[in-house]
Structure formats: structure tokens, C-alpha cells
Amino acid sequence: METAVFIVCAAIVLAGALGVVLVRNPVHAALSLVGTLFGMAVLFLNLEAHFLAAVQIIVYAGAIVVLFLFVIMLLGVDRLEDLSVEPITGQRALAAIVGLGTFGLAAAFLATSDIGVPGQEALTGPVAGQYSNLRQIADVLFTDYVYAFEATAALLTISVVGAVVMSRRMVRSHDAAEPETAKDD
């Protein structure tokens, strides 16, 4: 059963990822990204990461992709791009070499290593304990990683303030007198 779920979800994930890179319309790319994220969430369930599968759906598919689509619609860039011309000569060949190198090295390492996964067992706590997945995460998150958790709160606040500062219209003092509609392009 796990094998069948993995194969189906891996196909969805890779097809969605290829769709993001290859399609010409940004809206279609965002929808392909949703497919990839959903497949990834099911893979998280397959790996018994139940909380993160739910968070993946809510945060990525529910918030981030909607934000992408909102910006695409706001900017009006939902037009087809011309992908036939290469902006920089030889760039795609070099990118293909980089891609083959990245994937080839990782896959070769995994194929040649005898043990499946190198590393040391259970540094912080066991995954399959008597508690649920969510409680295990919470136990570690609010004890060992509590300062990092507080830092993420600060990070989110700073990023929201930064987004508001950057995206509002700059009204300089000398052209503040001109009507607001003139700058509304």
C-alpha cells in the first residue's frame, strides 16, 4: 500500500514540478505548484508526519499559492511568455549540466551507499512513541527549540511590517501636493 501511494504521489509531484518550470502561463504554473504541494502532503502522511501534512496544505496550498495568484492577478502578468528564445546564450545547456550534476551526485551517493541512511539515531526523541505526532512535535518545540520558536514570531512580524513598508506607495514631500489619482497607474 505504501509503495502504491508513493508511486502515485511521486508522479504527481514530479509532473507538477515540471509543469511549474515548463508552462508559459504563470497562473498555470501556480496551479501546477498546488499539485506538487498536495502530492508532497500525501507523502508526508506516508512518512507519518501528520501534523506537517496538514500544515503543508493550510500554509502552502492555502496561503502561499493564493498569495502568488493574488499577485499575478494584481500585476496583470497572466499572459503567455515566449520561452523559445534563450535570454542568455548557452544558459540552458549550462543549467542542464548543473541539474544533471545535482541529481547525479545525490542519486549516485544513495545508490552506492550500503546502508540506506547514514547518521546517528534519535538525538532528541523517538518518533514512534506513545504520544501522537502533534504532541511529540510540541514537546520538543516548546522545550529545546523555544528560543528558535520565539525568533520565528519576530521573523513573521518583521516580514509583515517589511511587506507593508515596501508595497505601499512612496509619497515624497515635494510631490505630495499633486492629486492621488495622477499616480494611480
160-179 positions binding other proteins, by CB under 8 A: 160, 162-164, 166-167, 169
The alpha carbon torsion through 176, 178, 179, 181 (nearest 10 deg) reads -90
Cell of 127: 518518533
Least CB distance from residue 103 to other proteins, whole Å? 4
Residue type, 120: Q
Nearer to other proteins, 180 or 185 (CB): 185
Nearer to other proteins, 34 or 177 (CB): 34
Nearer to other proteins, 54 or 176 (CB): 54
Nearer to other proteins, 158 or 171 (CB): 158
Cell of 143: 522545550
Nearer to other proteins, 74 or 176 (CB): 74
* Burial environment of residue 19 by CB neighbours within 10 A (0 to 12, 13 to 18, 19 or more): middle
The alpha carbon of residue 23 and the mean position of all alpha carbons in its chain are separated, in whole angstroms, by 18
| CB neighbours of residue 172 within 10 Å | 6
Residues 101-160 that bind other proteins (CB under 8 A): 102-103, 106-107, 110-111, 116-117, 119-128, 133, 136-137, 139-141, 145, 148, 152, 155-156, 158-160
Residues 1-60 that bind other proteins (CB under 8 A): 2-3, 6, 10, 13-14, 17-18, 20-21, 26, 29-30, 33, 36-37, 40, 43-44, 46-49, 51-52, 55-56, 59-60
Q: What are the two backbone dihedrals, phi and then psi, of residue 143, each rounded to the nearest 5 degrees? A: -120, -70
Q: Is 87 in the site for other proteins (CB under 8 A)?
A: yes
Could you tell me which of 110, 137, 115, 117 has the C-alpha nearest to residue 126? 137
Could you tell me which of 17, 34, 18, 23 has the C-alpha nearest to residue 79? 23
Least CB distance from residue 3 to other proteins, whole Å? 5
Least CB distance from residue 110 to other proteins, whole Å? 5
Least CB distance from residue 20 to other proteins, whole Å? 5
Type and span of the H or E element at 50: helix 50-55
Count residues binding other proteins (CB under 8 A).
87
